[in-house]
Amino acid sequence: MQTHFRDLTCGDARREHVGRRLSLAGWVHRRRDLGQLIFLDLRDRYGITQVVVDAQEAPHAHAAAATVRNEFVVRVEGMLAARLPGTENPKLATGEVELRAAEVTILSTARTPAFPINEPDQEADEAVRLRFRYLDLRREPMLRRILARSRLVEAIRAVHHDHGFVEIETPMLIKSTPEGARDFIVPSRLQPGSVYALPQSPQQLKQLLMVSGLDRYFQIARCFRDEDLRGDSQPEFTQLDLEMSFVAEEDVMAFVEAMVIEVSRAVVPERPIQHAPFPRFTHREALDRFGSDKPDLRYGMELHDLGEQARGSGFRVFEETLAGGGRVVGLAAPGMATASRSTVDELTELAKRFGAKGLVSIAIEGSGAVRSPIAKIVGDDRAEAMAVAAGASPGDLVLIVADRDVLAQEVLGRLRVELGARLGLADQEVLAYCWVHRFPMYQWDVENGRWDATHNPFSAPIPEHVELLTTLSGDPSRPSPEDPAGRALAQQYDLALNGWELGGGSVRIHQRDLLERSFSMMGHTLEGMRQKFGALLDAFEYGAPPHGGIALGIDRWAMILTYQTNIREVMAFPKTQSGSDLMLESPSPAEPGQWAELGLRFVGAPKG
């Protein structure tokens, strides 16, 4: 990496270079002044090389080095020497050598940074890190993650090109493509009163590319969603977006799975992939077994239906729940039989916070004895039978939720995740990918009296459910909760990794009439459809191949691969929870001239 300023990077020097006169350039990572000798650790993104400046050997260089401070940018020319035996540093790749300075040139001075660059383990306030992100990126952990992310994108590109995908950039200034969030809009200067939307995803465009015959498309796509930010979301984020033609669900899943394995091995070869092929669960099965549509498979502790054991138990809560069509479900927390009363109370509070009415516990002591607040009512034998059905062994604590179908599983699923973390059940090294598919096409929106797509509004039903969509109940333009289509399952698949949703996709409806039927279930009028999806609906009249695809969140993927839990840690320049860029100080008030040019006037913040 030789340039005008340097012969080697700060990570390159080895024994074989000893005896050569050469130049290095970089940042002063640390400086030790021993009087006659000054040591500079010179750093760049490739590594650190020790520089020795000896007052006798090089008085000018020594005088310059005496004025140098941490984070100055310097160029050092000198002779590469082997370090004296016993002074080598095995922690550095360059640790066997040092540069004996003949000349030290200061290329740039530096103020003292708000946090130390050379002590990466020292906590720094995130707001300060974001304000000085260019300094934060100098720190080793942040740098390492950004490099890993770059390798991730590189590997993604390589695999797709190897498999005949065409990389296409779709525009940023488009028309709304709904993904269930609010659009960011950009007012048009040339067409006053009109706006562009920034893409929530390239969904419609990638489908149009299939109509164009591109066959296989992918993009490292920037997406924008104006949402209230949660811990792991950002107003703009990056997806690996892809679409394929002439495919069934199986084809997309097979390609994506092979691609994900290849990419994971390229980026983090040291991390084992728990199961390949990836386990597949129907949405229903995932809820019943893990209480989640993104199950963490790094540990067991599965949910079990205890309906059979609870029926006729005499415990009112169980009986009433079952009579009302609800579910009694339990899981066995390993080794928690000795949990204190206050721990159980705390878990009960948690279950309530997650939406359940309560939590029942059964402890199976090491001796096999049963201890439970309901033992007096249901009897020891039945309590034990329930514990066994929940998968408990002696020493375990069984937790039971009785509630509405799905709510019961979801509450217990969240407890499962909580306990998994508390008990440290997950192997942190493992990558446990799995598929969840066959989601319901729609869910009934009580408030608006229509169906909503549970995922992507363009998804196709599974082949055996197409008829449900075309079987009309009453007026097709008036959705009703009784519509048979409400029972349809979609060819929709989500990919989960270690308890996070990595992304999802589907096989799409490629027939205009069926898509219109599906949109009308979601309350769209013909005119509304024409406005929102006109190009796609028209395109479907010119020969649309069967097609499907997926999008995976690259930020989240990079986050998990680098052991993080916050996507800001893998983004070079993220925004805060309130959507601000603390470094560039955006968003910022528009200049009056800008409003005028767009024909706009700011009338104050919206009420409510």
Name the β-bridge partners of 356: none
Q: Which of 29, 64, 33 is nearest to 48 (CA)?
A: 29
Closest distance between ligand ASP and the C-beta of residue 533, in Å? Answer: 14
Q: Residues 431, 273: contact at Cβ < 8 Å? A: yes
| CB of 551 or CB of 554, closer to ligand ASP | 551
> How does strand 360-364 pair with strand 185-187?
unpaired
Closest distance between ligand ASP and the C-beta of residue 500, in Å? Answer: 14
Paired tokens of 372: 């439970």
Q: Residues 236, 260: contact at Cβ < 8 Å? A: no
| CB of 169 or CB of 467, closer to ligand ASP | 169
Closest distance between ligand ASP and the C-beta of residue 505, in Å? Answer: 4
| CB of 264 or CB of 506, closer to ligand ASP | 506
Long-range contact pairs involving 320-328 (C-beta distance under 8 Å, separation at least 24): 321/402, 321/403, 321/408, 322/402, 324/404, 325/404, 325/405, 326/402, 326/403, 326/404, 326/405, 326/408, 327/402, 327/403, 327/404, 327/405, 327/408, 327/409, 328/400, 328/401, 328/402, 328/408
| CB of 205 or CB of 415, closer to ligand ASP | 205
| CB of 170 or CB of 274, closer to ligand ASP | 170
User: One-letter amino acid identity for 163?
Assistant: H
DSSP H/E element including 43: strand 37-44
DSSP assignment of 442-490:
EEEETTTTEEEESS-TTBPBPGGGHHHHHS--S-TTS--TT-GGGGPBB
- Rounded Cα–Cα distance for residues 560 and 530 (Å): 40
Closest distance between ligand ASP and the C-beta of residue 569, in Å? Answer: 22
DSSP H/E element including 349: helix 341-353
| CB of 156 or CB of 550, closer to ligand ASP | 550
Closest distance between ligand ASP and the C-beta of residue 213, in Å? Answer: 19
Paired tokens of 435: 């598929």
| CB of 208 or CB of 310, closer to ligand ASP | 208
| CB of 91 or CB of 230, closer to ligand ASP | 230
Closest distance between ligand ASP and the C-beta of residue 243, in Å? Answer: 7
| CB of 145 or CB of 438, closer to ligand ASP | 438
Phi-psi bin for 246: left (phi > 0), alpha (psi -120 to 50), beta? left
| CB of 242 or CB of 378, closer to ligand ASP | 242
| CB of 224 or CB of 299, closer to ligand ASP | 224
H helices of 269-327, in order, are: 283-290, 307-310, 316-323
Closest distance between ligand ASP and the C-beta of residue 458, in Å? Answer: 7
Closest distance between ligand ASP and the C-beta of residue 252, in Å? Answer: 9
DSSP assignment of 306-320:
-HHHHTTS--HHHHH
Q: What are the residues binding ligand ASP (CB under 6 A)? A: 179, 201, 203, 456, 504-506, 549-551
Q: Which of 12, 35, 36, 10 is nearest to 24 (CA)?
A: 10
| CB of 70 or CB of 201, closer to ligand ASP | 201
User: One-letter amino acid identity for 359?
Assistant: L
Paired tokens of 246: 């002439």
| CB of 201 or CB of 361, closer to ligand ASP | 201
Closest distance between ligand ASP and the C-beta of residue 556, in Å? Answer: 12
Number of C-beta neighbours around residue 433 at 10 A: 22
| CB of 283 or CB of 327, closer to ligand ASP | 283
Closest distance between ligand ASP and the C-beta of residue 414, in Å? Answer: 23
- Rounded Cα–Cα distance for residues 270 and 260 (Å): 15
3-state class (DSSP) for residue 203: helix
- Rounded Cα–Cα distance for residues 295 and 302 (Å): 10
Closest distance between ligand ASP and the C-beta of residue 249, in Å? Answer: 12
The 327-333 sheet, strands edge to edge: 304-305, 327-333, 397-403, 360-364, 370-371
User: One-letter amino acid identity for 377?
Assistant: I
Closest distance between ligand ASP and the C-beta of residue 461, in Å? Answer: 15
